[in-house]
């Protein structure tokens, strides 16, 4: 069985090579061959990590375009996208750190969350019982005799 090569993240050295290749005008397929990543990974990296120089321009170009080597960039009215390895690496590092900044796992915080979820669950249970109680009351309104039930007894039984 052939072992698959382990996937690796695009590091800062790879981002430097991507930026240099973009500035020299290479297409994404050549950049992919040079860096050892797939063409789709390179395209995703460039489109998601490019920085916008003119964010107020309403039009944007379809496809993969970066203005780093464009000859028309001085008088182009379209949105200006530039790829910078520093900002791309900082953005990727922030995205990797982001999910780990969740709720603190202190016991008092967990107890507060459990208490809040219990309160919400109790509220939903009361709403459900109230709906069932009103349906039962409507069903018994046709003249059948049944023992009267109080809503508060359904929610909190008397002791």
Q: pLDDT digit string (tens) for 112-139?
A: 666 666 666 666 666 665 666 565 555 5
Token pair of 51, please? Answer: 């920085």
Question: Whole-model pTM?
Answer: 0.50
CA dihedral 79, 43, 33, 68 (to 10 degrees): 10
Mean pLDDT score, 38-56: 80
For residue 78, give every residue at least 6 positions away whose Cβ sits within 8 Å of its Cβ, in sequence order, or none: 57, 59, 60, 61
Domain residue ranges of the chain, discontinuous segments joined by +: 12-99, 107-155
32 and 14 in contact (C-beta within 8 Å)?
no
Mean pLDDT score, 81-95: 85
CA dihedral 104, 107, 110, 116 (to 10 degrees): -130
CB atoms within 10 A of CB 124: 10
Mean pLDDT score, 32-55: 84
């Amino acid at each position: 069985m052939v072992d698959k090569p382990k996937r690796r993240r695009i590091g800062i050295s790879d981002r430097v090579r991507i930026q240099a290749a973009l500035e020299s005008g290479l297409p994404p397929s050549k950049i992919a061959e040079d860096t050892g990543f797939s063409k789709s990974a390179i395209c995703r990296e460039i489109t998601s990590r490019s920085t916008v120089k003119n964010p107020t321009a309403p039009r944007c170009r379809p496809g993969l375009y970066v203005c780093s080597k464009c000859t028309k960039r001085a008088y182009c009215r379209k949105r200006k996208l530039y790829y910078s390895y520093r900002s791309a690496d900082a953005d990727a590092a922030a995205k990797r750190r982001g999910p780990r900044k969740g709720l603190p796992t202190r016991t008092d915080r967990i107890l507060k969350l459990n208490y809040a979820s219990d309160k919400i669950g109790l509220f939903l249970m009361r709403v459900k019982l109230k709906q069932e109680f009103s349906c039962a009351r409507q069903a018994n309104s046709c003249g059948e005799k049944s023992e009267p039930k109080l809503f508060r007894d359904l929610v909190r039984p008397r002791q």
